Structure 1
Amino acid sequence: MQAKDLSETVCRVCGRDDGSLLWDRHGVPQYVICDCCGIESGLGDDQLSKVRENRGHWVAQGAPWDVPKNRPAGWDVLRQLSAVPAEWR
């Protein structure tokens, strides 16, 4: 029986997916900082309560980009949030 691949490239907090590996196939965080919400994988997104708290704080602040120059033209926060994996909503 093969182990489940736990790789993740979608930010658990904001739904951004730039292809960066945030969690490896064994479920180990890679400590990558999201350009959008600024959360570091493994530090602010390892428990559902933290994910929800960080998402709420980020949205309450107006959903600012941590690295504004990387914000795509026509960016839609609601569309991006819809990409948050179901288990992290």
Structure 2
Amino acid sequence: MEDRAETACRICGLDDGEVLFNEYGVPQYVICECCYNESGIGDDTLTQVRELRGYWVGHGAQWHDPKRKPADWDLLKQIANIPAEWR
């Protein structure tokens, strides 16, 4: 059976390896250190995900804690991590 656990944030695409949704799709309620979305809160439908992402990008795609933002951070590379079904 294929491991379907999600480690990339559905909103911003940050993938630090922490499981956000387990192999059964159950949210683990982890707060993303980039966009500050909590997995399982407002990101369970494509419409909601797109609204949250649009809000985040529309406000400059700011990191919640700028000190944690990597020096070589690239928004487009990070967004490419978003699972296809949540784009």
Q: Normalising by structure 1, what TM-score?
A: 0.91
Residue 62 of structure 1 corresponds to: 60
Computing the radius of gyration over CA atoms, which structure comes out larger, 1 or 2?
1
Describe the superposition over 1:61-88 as per-residue Cα deviations: whole angstroms up to 9, x where unpaired: 0000012221111101111111111100
Q: Considering only aligned residues, what root-mean-square deviation do their CA atoms show, in Å?
A: 1.1
Q: Which moved more, 1:77-86 or 1:49-58?
A: 77-86
Instruction: Give 1:44 shift.
Output: 2.1
Structure 2 alignment gaps of length 5 or more: none
Aligned residue pairs, count: 87
Describe the superposition over 1:32-62 as per-residue Cα deviations: whole angstroms up to 9, x where unpaired: 0100111100002111001000000000000
Structure 1 alignment gaps of length 5 or more: none
Measure, in 2, the Cα distance between the counterparts of 1:33 and 1:50.
17
Structure 1 ranges of 4+ moved more than 2 A: none
Percent of pairs with identical residues: 59
